[in-house]
């Protein structure tokens, strides 16, 4: 997602490129604080269900995560993405017929971020993580209050440095702050807050 173009036309399929440094910053903080344990023997560990990429740019999350030795599956609805499975609508995939991904992480299309989160939570096993990059004000609004009362939010990693989502203009930052929201299936405690 990106709020840069608010009021104007959004990119087709809400395609924006997450800067790699933002993911690196998140992973560095997350690995310091993470109390979750993953077993590589249990099969594919990570899924990016809206992985992006195109003829010009790599898929941001898979590229960075693979550098850190994660095994990553990638899907995207666009045929011109670089995902392993292109033309795949994440929301139409039956969650019971997928491998048990232990982590689902992405920058989802803004308008269906809640649906993506709920669908991803159906795909991970108990204790599995769903991590979404969203605007910090995703936490707000009366409309979303019921969502925050039911979803198992475990941690929020607030990025103090604003990202930009246009690789051609790396110094042009977005008009708002972003955070990685970490949900843990079955988590019942209060969420933790990290400002990074």
Ligand X SMILES: C[S@@+](CC[C@H](N)C(=O)[O-])C[C@H]1O[C@@H](n2cnc3c(N)ncnc32)[C@H](O)[C@@H]1O
Binding site for ligand X (CB under 6 A): 1, 13-18, 49-52, 60-61, 75-78, 81, 89-91, 106-107, 109
Provide the angle, in degrees to the nearest 10, between the axes of the packed helices 20-33 and 60-67: 50
In the complex with ligand X, the residue whose CB is nearer, 109 or 128, is 109
Q: Based on CB atoms, which residue is closest to ligand X, 15 or 138?
A: 15
Nearer to ligand X, 99 or 127 (CB): 99
Q: Which is nearer to ligand X, 16 or 187 (CB)?
A: 16
Q: In what order do the strands lie in the sheet with 46-48?
A: 72-74, 46-48, 103-106, 129-135, 178-184, 153-159, 192-195
DSSP string for 154-186: EEEEEESSPP-S-TT-TT---SS-EEEEEEETT
Q: How far is the CB of 110 from ligand X (least distance, A)?
A: 7
CB of 120 to ligand X, least distance (A): 11
Shortest Cβ distance from residue 87 to ligand X (Å)?
Answer: 9
Residue closer to ligand X, measured from CB, 76 or 156: 76
Smallest Cα–Cα separation from 167: which of 7, 11, 6? 11
Do β-strands 103-106 and 46-48 pair in parallel, antiparallel, or remain unpaired?
parallel
Nearer to ligand X, 111 or 192 (CB): 111
Phi, psi angles (nearest 5°) of residue 113: -60, -40
Residues 6 or more apart whose Cβ sits within 8 Å of residue 29: 157, 194, 196
Q: How far is the CB of 126 from ligand X (least distance, A)?
A: 24
Nearest approach, Cβ of 194 to ligand X (angstroms)? 20
Strands (E), the chain: 46-48, 72-74, 103-106, 129-135, 153-159, 178-184, 192-195
- Residue number of the CB closest to ligand X reads 52
Q: How far is the CB of 180 from ligand X (least distance, A)?
A: 11
């Amino acid at each position: 997602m990106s709020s840069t173009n608010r009021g104007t036309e959004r990119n087709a399929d809400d395609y924006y490129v997450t800067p790699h440094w933002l993911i690196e910053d998140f992973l560095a903080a997350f690995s310091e604080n993470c109390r979750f344990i993953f077993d590589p023997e249990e099969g594919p560990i990570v899924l990016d269900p809206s992985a992006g990429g195109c003829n010009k740019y790599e898929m941001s999350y898979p590229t960075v995560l693979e550098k850190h030795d994660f095994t990553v599956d990638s899907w995207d609805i666009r045929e011109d993405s670089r995902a392993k499975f292109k033309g795949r609508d994440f929301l139409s995939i039956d969650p019971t017929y997928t491998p048990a991904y232990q982590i689902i992480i992405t920058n989802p299309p803004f308008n269906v971020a809640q649906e993506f989160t709920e669908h991803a939570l159906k795909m991970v096993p108990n204790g599995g993580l769903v991590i979404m990059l969203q605007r910090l004000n995703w936490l707000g609004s009366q409309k979303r209050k019921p969502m925050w009362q039911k979803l198992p939010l475990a941690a929020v990693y607030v990025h103090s440095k604003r990202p930009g989502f246009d690789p051609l203009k790396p110094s042009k930052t977005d008009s708002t702050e972003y955070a990685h929201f970490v949900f843990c299936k079955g988590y019942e405690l209060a969420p933790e807050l990290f400002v990074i």
